[in-house]
Structure 1
Amino acid sequence: MEFIAKIVDLVNTFLWDYALLALLLGAGIIFTFRLKFIQVRKFGEGMRSLFGNFSLHGGKSEEGLSSFQALTTAIAAQVGTGNIAGAATAIASGGPGSIFWMWVSAFFGMATIYAEAVMAQHTRKVENGTVIGGPVYYIKYIFKGGFGKFLAGFFSVAIILALGFMGNMVQSNSIGVAFNNAFHVPTIAVGIFVAIVAAIIFIGGINRIASFTEKIVPIMALLYVLGSLIILVTHLPGVGTAFKDIFVGAFSPQSVAGGMLGVTVQKAMRFGVARGLFSNEAGMGSTPHAHATAKVSNPCEQGIIAMMGVFIDTFIILTMTALVILSTGVLGNGQTGAELAQSAFNVGFGDFGNIFIAICMLFFAFTTIIGWYYFGEVNVRHLFGNKAVKVYAVIVVIFVIIGSTLKVDLVWNMADMFNGLMVLPNLIALLACMKVVTSISKEHKAL
């Protein structure tokens, strides 16, 4: 087991410290310039579409989900424990400046996710009366023959392992630990409860998943933002210092008050970009499965609203976590991850901080389980057909229960690894689709 752990760590170091930083950020920059800064030009249109399409009852349609349902299903996956633990880890390891590089990666990532959503819409299919799509479809669209089949198969295996199985174990573990800390509930009891509710939603297919996410995602986002704002208002002097530390720390970590010993610009950039991209999932090939299902007049419509998912995930929710940590002065107490975030909320809310984080973890992690399950399901259908979906659902439910009880450091690292591996075929195909994305954008006046 120790040998496997070392191999996984080695692969993750190569992927997340070097290869993926360059590939994901590079792809975002390329799409940003090719699409003439679409994330800036179409931001207003995206926000109008977001609020104009807002609905808690999107309804059912054989032609697909509403645009808002597709977005909330994507955000359900994007906004997970990474928005709490990921931000805290980045700050603890890369200093306050890492948040600036999170913003940079998210800005360019908005162009990447636009391209993903456009291609997912362009290549989607209707199978057994259900609209489905995702990277496997645009991979095989752009690469014919054996190479396309290999890349698509590689992507499917990686995402099923990374999100459907290992990732969902970690999410259920986060819920179990948070509820055990706040309410002293046995983690196995929490895991069984989460698994039962998840199974009920899984059985209903994409329509039930979308009906769930369109109601829960706005509530969880509003709850977390309001809680964070209360703390920030009561720590206003610290908010100003937090923004100063973020911008100074991005280019001169040693100048930040308190001295982030050992933190360099490269380290701030590395943790900021890696955690930011991991959180908003731009370029990773996960959210296109949701955006493919939207019933819109043209692919660019969903591409534009997809960008709002990255904005909400990183510039709003993840930034709130960062500002609460920095403004409450808990950085440097030796903690990292969710524990650091929990300490910050305890400063703001006292003992209620543990309860608040537990409730937010339930919302964040549970909706991620639902989103990640669906992304895996699409790829199970692609590899093994419809009959395998029930088997897949049962395995995910079992993994959710097991995950709630385990120390999952190795599982989380393996999820990181397969997450990284699934980026490779997705980005190769996405960059090969550059002319198609550009052509579609020009045709529908988005470029």
Structure 2
Amino acid sequence: MLELFESFVNESNNILWSYVLIILLIGAGLFFTIKSGFVQFVNIKEMFSLLAQGATSKRGGVSSFQAFCISTASRVGTGNLAGVALAIVAGGPGAVFWMWLIALIGSASAFVESTLAQIYKEKEPTKHSFVGGPAYYIEKALGSRNLGIVFSILITICFGFIFNAVQSNTITFAFQEAYGIDRIQLGLALTFLTAIIIFGGVKRIAKVSETLVPIMAVAYILVAIYVLISNIGQVPSIIALIVNNAFGLEQVAGGAVGAALMQGIKRGLFSNEAGMGSAPNAAATANVTHPVKQGFIQTLGVFTDTLLICTATAFLILISGEYTVKGVDGIQLTQAAMKSQVGDWGTPFIAVCILLFAFSSIVGNYYYGESNIKFISSNRVYLIMYRVFVLIMVMFGAYTSIGLVWNLADLFMGLMALINIYAILRLSPIAFAALKDYMAQKKEGKNPVFLAKNIGLDKGVECWKEEIKA
């Protein structure tokens, strides 16, 4: 029975990723890039400026920096260490090129979806915080609550359950490799720590993410930079290897380009989540004066994830040559690559990194499900049930096999992306109008403040009917 289920999942993934999503994700990303005037490239300076300004929220609630950290906590996880390794083994070095491409053009999708999430967010009753995301703009702007509920169910299953099983799966494999720790015992410890965090609410989630994300990212990048500097002479040949394997005649003849493209896009999307509809749930929580501000900040998150952290992992693996060793895959490949470059301490270092990366992802993933449970029903019983199932899946992932959880993650991630891309393609003129309004105010030397009526909006917009003080 299990073999039949795995076969169904694999075949569904093959159809979804080989034919549908590759065209849809690249096509939508290119459309948003061109229609927005290459928003993700011409506004880099503004993105960093807003991130620095948004470290604290003077108006209460979650700051723009905290919202950035929640979404980055979800983005930066096993995809950056284990996912990149899986992509290189399955698709060859050329997969890295396609990972870069989906980040560069997909970041425009991230801008659109996060700006829309801000425009259509809701204020939580009795709290100084906001909630929103694709389910909310699908209902409010497209007028389809049923489709919004379908998306909410998919993201709750995908992030709250399956992705969290992926995270705990990778943590336990990494620690088993580094220290020989029993996976079930570590799974119990992870489940206990997760319970402490998720029963503390979104503010605690924001605080944990705000602390863990910068520490884990900086530590890992510094070691990766050390490895690159130590092998600086190999960098040009590694770049050539990536490009040649993405487009080379030998790869075209052998059908390897298709494998590289599919793996690069799958693992790239798993890691940076651009266009998938997950990060907008975090973007909606931020208390900002203009929706475009959070759209910019979430765009920066895609670059941070893929162009910095995923690239660091890819170069580490390719420099080491460990990806050519058969039978070594996932997080164990990244550990082997690090060990070959820095010595025996590389294996436990990666184990600690993946603990911080993946545990922060569990925290961020949980929040995405919580906000969508609230969309479906305000009955607190459902939220308690959701939390219990999250803990069960964290434990399940700790001892199950690696293949099934990753394949399930790909399937649900793809279904989410289908619905969200459809929605943001239809609603993108609203995001572009908000961008035009923002840039006009910047040209006048103002700190942009948003009013829905200024771009002709009235229906479904709850939080932008009155001017918010900058």
> How does the TM-score come out when normalised to structure 1?
0.93
Which range is displaced more, 278-287 or 235-244? 235-244
Choose which of 373, 382, 402 in structure 1 pairs with 2:375: 382
The reply to whether residue 435 of structure 1 matches residue 429 of structure 2 is: yes
Percent identity, aligned pairs only? Answer: 41
- Code of the aligned partner of 1:380: I
SS at 2:324's partner residue? Answer: coil
The reply to whether residue 213 of structure 1 matches residue 209 of structure 2 is: yes
Distance 2:289 2:8 in 1: 47
Distance 2:387 2:236 in 1: 47
Instruction: Rate the CA distance shift 1:357–1:195 in 2: closer, same or farther, 3 A.
Output: same
Structure 2, unaligned stretches of length 5 or more?
A: 443-470
Choose which of 331, 342, 353 in structure 2 pairs with 1:338: 331
Instruction: Rate the CA distance shift 1:355–1:253 in 2: closer, same or farther, 3 A.
Output: farther
Instruction: Rate the CA distance shift 1:366–1:61 in 2: closer, same or farther, 3 A.
Output: farther
The structural deviation recorded for 1:261 is 9.3
Per-residue CA deviation, residues 346-382 of structure 1 (Å, 9 max, x unaligned), is: 1012221210110111011101100110001111112
Aligned to 1:29: 30
1:188 touches 1:405 (CA, 8 Å); kept in 2? yes
Choose which of 198, 202, 208 in structure 1 pairs with 2:198: 202
Per-residue CA deviation, residues 311-353 of structure 1 (Å, 9 max, x unaligned), is: 0000000000011111122231123322222221110122212
The reply to whether residue 112 of structure 1 matches residue 109 of structure 2 is: yes
1:72 touches 1:214 (CA, 8 Å); kept in 2? yes
SS at 1:404's partner residue? Answer: helix
- Code of the aligned partner of 1:27: A
1:90 touches 1:98 (CA, 8 Å); kept in 2? yes
Structure 1, unaligned stretches of length 5 or more?
A: none
SS at 1:433's partner residue? Answer: helix
Aligned to 2:47: 46
Distance 1:235 1:30 in 2: 39
Aligned to 1:422: 416
Which range is displaced more, 280-289 or 99-108? 99-108
The reply to whether residue 15 of structure 1 matches residue 12 of structure 2 is: no
- Number of residue pairs aligned between Structure 1 and Structure 2: 436
Distance 1:59 1:297 in 2: 11
SS at 2:62's partner residue? Answer: coil
The reply to whether residue 400 of structure 1 matches residue 394 of structure 2 is: yes
1:59-138 residue pairs with structure 2 within 5 A? 62=60, 64-128=61-125, 129=127, 130-138=129-137
Instruction: Rate the CA distance shift 1:52–1:125 in 2: closer, same or farther, 3 A.
Output: closer
Distance 1:216 1:225 in 2: 14
Per-residue CA deviation, residues 269-325 of structure 1 (Å, 9 max, x unaligned), is: 222222212210001000100000111110001101111100000000000001111
1:82 touches 1:279 (CA, 8 Å); kept in 2? yes
The reply to whether residue 275 of structure 1 matches residue 274 of structure 2 is: no
1:283 touches 1:427 (CA, 8 Å); kept in 2? yes
2:82 touches 2:330 (CA, 8 Å); kept in 1? yes
Per-residue CA deviation, residues 237-264 of structure 1 (Å, 9 max, x unaligned), is: 2222211212222221638xxxx99453
Which range is displaced more, 19-28 or 325-334? 325-334
Aligned to 2:295: 303
Aligned to 1:160: 156
Aligned to 1:5: 6
- Code of the aligned partner of 2:196: I
Aligned to 1:175: 171
2:136 touches 2:375 (CA, 8 Å); kept in 1? no
Distance 1:408 1:234 in 2: 32
Choose which of 236, 240, 244 in structure 1 pairs with 2:236: 240
C-alpha RMSD over aligned residues = 1.9
SS at 1:379's partner residue? Answer: helix
Aligned to 1:140: 139
Distance 1:142 1:283 in 2: 18
Per-residue CA deviation, residues 109-139 of structure 1 (Å, 9 max, x unaligned), is: 1100000110000000012223100000110
SS at 2:130's partner residue? Answer: strand
- Code of the aligned partner of 1:223: A
The structural deviation recorded for 1:94 is 2.1
The structural deviation recorded for 1:38 is 0.4
Per-residue CA deviation, residues 225-245 of structure 1 (Å, 9 max, x unaligned), is: 011112222222222221121
